[in-house]
Structure 1
């Protein structure tokens, strides 16, 4: 029996490695493009103010309002992904947001800026939770922090590479009678449409659909991943709505919300913070702004691997959230520009590096259609934080005249998140206790 188990374990490890090598690059590519297309507006902030009169407050509102359109359709979109299959749905999302991202080149003022940002959010709704839903179909719980960590390298690389590339594209201003920001939106939007088409043909939805897996490997993966109830006629709204009412789902969503207030505000305003350090050239601004992406990238590569070996999820969340508070406080207390660049990376290391842990913890408690609904619901709450963060950063800049005053928002949001971690821990214990009591009751009923 031990020999058979060892063989199955080895088969599962090999299949998991193959799946990661085949799937993760495709998932990263599509998420990279989405993050690039939603955040490249940060590089255009100053030029949009000069060319079409968009103020700091209007920019903050427009940057964040993307997340309102995204949040409104997040749960319905991921339920559609569960119904029609994530491959088709992710491809549809990519093509539609790529078209709208390109259309950002036609912004004429504040209202067209708001409208296109809302439409971009609506088009992209459901992408990230659909990717997370796919993770539940392919990978065992112990492998998910690593898989999600690899997926999160995509937005980190989008900040590392996208900022200098976008800064270089901004310097095309005047070519063909277009502003630099118009060239940037056009050149960076079109590849998303192409990526969506490629994904439609290349991305298998679940192990049994993958031609590059043997039937034994596919069975080994599906046996240890979440059991999906897709296609069962008895499923009703109560089956997925139950996931939305669970205290653990709501609390991890609120902690994620506060993280997004801090982290999204940070990366949308980093170029403005760098510019206020007397950096003028768009390319150099983009290059230095990549420090946030470097910190983010290191965080998602290092911290999920530590989490995999750490026993207590909530203690680990508390440590990382405390690190975010410490990094932000150190930035506020530091005046030296070089030190501030390092602390931008440190803040992003904790603020972005914690993200895979949120999803790995949530996935432990959700499966099947509950995973599709619950993960989308958590992302919806977080997306509202993505709206609130840039808006608060924009308001603080309007009141103080300095972009770096937004770090006060980071400190406040992170402290609140830290206070919620022990509440979340209690909810987990209560949920586990109720589940054990129900199991014991069922066992007693069977014995009688």
Structure 2
């Protein structure tokens, strides 16, 4: 009995290890490039003000407006990806956003800055939920926090490596008659186009398409990936709107929205906060800004593995949110630049490290086309938070004259997120208390008379 029972488990574990080693690096690579191209504008903030007259408030609006176009097209984009295939759609996204990221070198003022940021957002819309949807096709629920955690190492590394690299590229200013920020946008945009082309030929859509998996390994992955937490097969309802009507989907989306208000504002304004510490040299600003990336990386490597050991998702979310509240409050109270540098990393540890858990919790309750729509909807709310965060940071800097005043935004957003955790817990309990057929019909959007 033990041999019979252990063979499928051993096969699935071996296949999961292969997928972690072969698939996840491809997803990380493309997400790394997208994050680099959407956030490198943070390093250009001071120079854009000097060279083309973009104010702090205009910079905050332009940084955040990226998330509006992205948000509006998130669900439609992922539904198209569901129909045409994730490989083709992700490759298309990478090529188009790479071209538009390169075009940022032609910014002439506030309106061209806004326009290119909106176009960049439209090009990139749907990328992240497409990556999350691929996780639901390849990994069993218990393996998803770690898989998503590995994917989140990409933006963490982009913050760690991208800031120093971008700072170095900006020192090319004067060569060829271009400003440093123009060199940075050009030399970081072109590789994204090349990455999209490579991905088109190398990314397997599903386990059955991967030449590096045996037929039995592919079957083992697909069988366990399409089962929900109760062991049911994948829902086949075409009513994808049902996923958007579930209270649990909306509530995890609202919590994610508040997280993104805090976290996106943090990493867009970290270089300005460090510059405010009387550090003028662009490369050094970039190196020190990497502290946020180090904290983020530590969070996504450590916290998903702790999440695996927690039975109660909401208690876990509450603990991490309390950590974020404490980190923000400590930064506001600290006076020493060294202490504040350390607290930037601590804040990023909690604000970024919790992200894989949001997605793993959502994936437990969404399958099939409902996963494509529901995950995109959650990301849409997060993207709106990504607009609100930098905009509020920009307003607070304009009012106070200090970039670090944005930490009051982080504190307020994290306290509101903490207040929503028990509401989310009650929604989960109510959903779990439904009789089994009713719960499944409700998830599928079927209403009995």
Structure 1 length-normalised TM? 0.96
Partner of 1:225: 225
CA deviation after TM superposition for structure 1 residue 397, in Å: 0.1
Matches within 5 A, 1:38-187: 38-187=38-187
- Structure 1, residues 314-346: CA drift from partner, whole Å, max 9, x if none? 000000011001000000000100000000000
Do 1:296 and 1:348's aligned partners in 2 also have CA atoms closer than 8 Å? yes
Output the CA distance in 2 between the equivalents of 1:380 and 1:209.
Answer: 29
Do 1:57 and 1:398's aligned partners in 2 also have CA atoms closer than 8 Å? yes
Output the CA distance in 2 between the equivalents of 1:436 and 1:205.
Answer: 32
Output the CA distance in 2 between the equivalents of 1:84 and 1:439.
Answer: 30
Matches within 5 A, 1:306-345: 306-345=306-345
Secondary structure at 1:309's aligned position in 2? coil
Secondary structure at 2:288's aligned position in 1? helix
- Structure 1, residues 412-441: CA drift from partner, whole Å, max 9, x if none? 000000000000000000001114473799
Matches within 5 A, 1:350-389: 350-389=350-389
Partner of 1:446: none
Matched residue count: 435
Partner of 1:290: 290
Matches within 5 A, 1:199-218: 199-218=199-218
CA deviation after TM superposition for structure 1 residue 227, in Å: 5.7
Partner of 1:245: 245
Output the CA distance in 2 between the equivalents of 1:322 and 1:226.
Answer: 34
Partner of 2:447: none
Partner of 1:13: 13
Partner of 1:267: 267
- Structure 1, residues 197-252: CA drift from partner, whole Å, max 9, x if none? 00000000101111111100001001100269xxx9x854xx20000000000000
Do 1:261 and 1:389's aligned partners in 2 also have CA atoms closer than 8 Å? yes
Output the CA distance in 1 between the equivalents of 2:329 and 2:225.
Answer: 41
- Structure 1, residues 15-34: CA drift from partner, whole Å, max 9, x if none? 00001100011000000000
- Structure 1, residues 160-215: CA drift from partner, whole Å, max 9, x if none? 00000000001111000000000000000000000000000000010111111110
Output the CA distance in 1 between the equivalents of 2:439 and 2:188.
Answer: 53
Rate the CA distance shift 1:384–1:439 in 2: closer, same or farther, 3 A. Answer: closer
Secondary structure at 2:105's aligned position in 1? helix
Partner of 1:192: 192
Secondary structure at 1:335's aligned position in 2? coil
Output the CA distance in 1 between the equivalents of 2:334 and 2:257.
Answer: 27
Unaligned runs of 5+ in 1: 442-448
Output the CA distance in 1 between the equivalents of 2:251 and 2:284.
Answer: 40
- Structure 1, residues 90-148: CA drift from partner, whole Å, max 9, x if none? 00000000000000000000000000000000000000000000000000000000000
Output the CA distance in 1 between the equivalents of 2:88 and 2:435.
Answer: 36
Do 1:227 and 1:368's aligned partners in 2 also have CA atoms closer than 8 Å? no
Output the CA distance in 2 between the equivalents of 1:261 and 1:416.
Answer: 11
Do 1:23 and 1:203's aligned partners in 2 also have CA atoms closer than 8 Å? yes
Output the CA distance in 1 between the equivalents of 2:407 and 2:439.
Answer: 47
Structure 2 length-normalised TM? 0.95
Do 2:74 and 2:126's aligned partners in 1 also have CA atoms closer than 8 Å? yes
Do 2:299 and 2:349's aligned partners in 1 also have CA atoms closer than 8 Å? yes
- Structure 1, residues 34-66: CA drift from partner, whole Å, max 9, x if none? 000000000000000000000000000000000
CA deviation after TM superposition for structure 1 residue 311, in Å: 1.2
Secondary structure at 1:365's aligned position in 2? coil
Do 1:137 and 1:227's aligned partners in 2 also have CA atoms closer than 8 Å? no
CA deviation after TM superposition for structure 1 residue 3, in Å: 1.5
Output the CA distance in 1 between the equivalents of 2:128 and 2:50.
Answer: 34
- Structure 1, residues 254-305: CA drift from partner, whole Å, max 9, x if none? 0000000000000000000000000010000000000000000000000000
Output the CA distance in 1 between the equivalents of 2:203 and 2:251.
Answer: 33
Secondary structure at 2:44's aligned position in 1? helix
Unaligned runs of 5+ in 2: 229-233, 442-449
CA deviation after TM superposition for structure 1 residue 2, in Å: 3.0
Do 1:271 and 1:289's aligned partners in 2 also have CA atoms closer than 8 Å? yes
